[in-house]
Amino acid sequence: MDIERITSFTQDHDKITPGLYISRIDGSLITYDMRTRKPNGGEYMDNITMHTVEHMFATYIRNSEIGGNIIYFGPMGCQTGFYLIVRNEKPERVLEIIKKTLVLIINHKGEVFGASRKECGNYKNLALQPCIDECKKYLDVLNSKEIDFKYEQ
């Protein structure tokens, strides 16, 4: 069997900075890399942060105006970001909704969504504050630079 290198490995990770990028387009599906940390930068999200962002972001964005077109949201195994797969939406609209979703999380009061034994596979490993801190930091990134969705070559 010949093994081809998958597209995401062809990107030079030394050139990636935090931001929002399109990594794949498959028909009507666009995969976004929500890159929160610099790859191999020495600082990574810990599991409780990624896990809580996963619960909070997935819940809020699936309840947004584009909720029906959210196919997938989840953390990158390398702990430097999240994947978001969206159907039939323009990137500018997705960016706007991502920012709104981050604001909702930052202002969230009360329990983490899905924080019970019946709803989650590791429900004690959730904490709102590190999730809010991560979302604040990422929202600052999105507000501080021009987002053209392209990885630098």
- By CB under 5 A, name the binding residues for Zn ion: 120
140/132 Cα distance (integer angstroms): 12
Cβ nearer to Zn ion, comparing 42 with 121 = 121
Cβ nearer to Zn ion, comparing 29 with 120 = 120
Minimum CB distance to Zn ion, residue 86 (Å): 21
Minimum CB distance to Zn ion, residue 75 (Å): 11
Minimum CB distance to Zn ion, residue 39 (Å): 25
Cβ nearer to Zn ion, comparing 95 with 115 = 115
Minimum CB distance to Zn ion, residue 52 (Å): 8
Cβ nearer to Zn ion, comparing 19 with 75 = 75
Please give the residue whose beta carbon sits closest to Zn ion in the complex.
Answer: 120
Cβ nearer to Zn ion, comparing 8 with 125 = 125
The CB density around residue 129, as the number of other CB atoms within 10 Å, is 10
> Helices marked H in the chain — which ranges?
7-10, 47-62, 91-106, 128-144
Minimum CB distance to Zn ion, residue 150 (Å): 32
* Side-chain half-sphere exposure of 147, counting CA atoms within 13 A: 25
